[in-house]
Amino acid sequence: MTAPQTPQVEPPPAPSRRVREPARGNRAVRMLGWTLGTAVILGTALVVLQAVTGPAPQEIAAAVKPVRVCPPVVSVPARALGFPVDELLGVRPGMNARDVEETVKCISEDYALETQALGNGAMPGQKSRPLLVAKRGQETASFALFGPAGAEQVAAAWRESYFDVGQGPSLPVVESMLVAQYGAPHEARTDTNGVRILTWTFAPDGRPLRSRPREGDISGTMTYMALGWTVAACVQNVRSDPAATLAWDSRCGLTIRAEISPTLSDAGRTARWRLFVFDQATLARLTPPRPSPATPG
């Protein structure tokens, strides 16, 4: 007798696991996060690199320096009508150190300015007085300041320009430039070395110290000759060296002197020209009274 067989039952199929695709919105979020994270890392790296190799603090400060205003606002009023031109590179008697810097830099940013301290023989009680020096190429301008410490004002100025051999303008061209600036000189002569010398001399009230009389004016001629002593004293007070102790005379106001030197190889070409602008009235106002050492020769 055959044993009964147990019917085989197939196991139920395992439930299928469906892989759920990520939603498109989630993928976009992850991509955005990855992009932002990368940008933050790169930005941080750039900041660190800039801090290590970037410009120096003074360069950054220069980059944000305010734009210079030209013409500058200065501490002295405009020159009164009828008064002679008294400026050198735009700098006038009575200006302070800031006025000088702003005025010169408005002409050209190429001027390099420095302040020198000179022995102060003119101001008892003060060991030094400032001299502002502006240099550009073969040109140097100097401005002497006098007065109480911290409130010094310009009273004298110098300008000197050199030229390479054969490169200077002709002497008449330089003279014409000076005449266009200051008017016809009161005196003009050429010394034995061929140096052309021009002078302008004014009284403290701005009038020329003397004017040539009309032909036949005997009284005017006598006055003109007598004033020659005063003119000589005023001109002699003009020092060619900015470091020299300055002198002044109460009879003198603005005094200007120019020297145009020719080259050795060509007497018609300028090797150097110098200009001195002294306001003896301002100098007298800013310094204690003292007699002038100048004596007419």
More confident residue, 187 or 35: 187
Closest CA to 129 of 96, 109, 152: 152
Q: 190 in helix, strand or coil?
A: strand
More confident residue, 7 or 208: 208
Average pLDDT over residues 191-206: 95
Residues 237 and 292 sit within 8 Å (Cβ to Cβ): yes
* Cα–Cα distance measured from residue 235 to residue 242, given in angstroms and rounded to the nearest whole number: 15
**Regarding predicted confidence, which is higher, 87 or 5?**
87
Query: Does the pLDDT value for residue 156 go beyond 70?
Result: yes
**3-state SS assignment for residue 229:** helix
Residue percentage of the chain with pLDDT more than 90: 51
- Residues, the chain: 297
- The residues, ordered by sequence, that sit 6+ positions from 243 with a Cβ below 8 Å of its Cβ are 118, 131
Q: What is the pLDDT of residue 128?
A: 74
Beta-ladder partners of 239: none
Q: Which two tokens stand for residue 201?
A: 């001399």
* Calpha distance 178→134 (Å, rounded): 20
Considering 35-44, 64-73, 112-121, 201-210, the range whose residues carry the highest mean pLDDT is 201-210
pLDDT tens, residue by residue, 70-83: 999 999 998 888 89
Distances (CA, A) of 195 to 98, 165, 270: 35, 16, 10
- Model pLDDT, residue 295: 47
Q: Which of 14-28, 117-131, 244-258 is predicted least confidently?
A: 14-28
Examine the pLDDT at 43 and tell me if it is beyond 70. Answer: no
If you average pLDDT over residues 27-56, what whole number do you get? 61
Mean pLDDT of the chain: 82
Judge whether residue 12 has pLDDT over 60.
no
Instruction: Return the pLDDT at 296.
Output: 47
Backbone angles phi, psi at 56, to 5 degrees: -70, 155
Q: What sign for the dihedral angle of Cα 174, 178, 184, 187?
A: negative
With cut-offs at 50, 70 and 90, classify the pLDDT of residue 288.
low
If one compares 11 and 241, the residue with the highest pLDDT of the two is 241
Residue 54 has pLDDT above 90, yes or no: no
- Domain positions in the chain: 97-286
Tell the residue number behind the tokens 């000179």, with chain if given.
118
Higher pLDDT, 104 or 286: 104
Mean pLDDT of 268-289: 90
CB-CB contact of 88 with 157 (8 Å): yes
pLDDT at 148 (0 to 100):
86
Q: Which residues contact 196 (CB under 8 A, 6 or more apart)?
A: 171, 175, 188, 189, 190, 258, 259, 260
Q: Residue range 141-158: average pLDDT?
A: 92
Nearest to 131 by CA among 30, 241, 257: 241
Q: Which two tokens stand for residue 76?
A: 């002295």
Residue 25 pLDDT? 54
Please state which of the ranges 89-103, 160-174, 211-225, 272-286 shows the lowest mean pLDDT.
211-225
> Higher model confidence: residue 64 or residue 263?
263
Q: What is this structure's pTM?
A: 0.73
Lowest mean pLDDT, pick from 83-97, 111-125, 146-160: 111-125
pLDDT beyond 90 at 183: yes
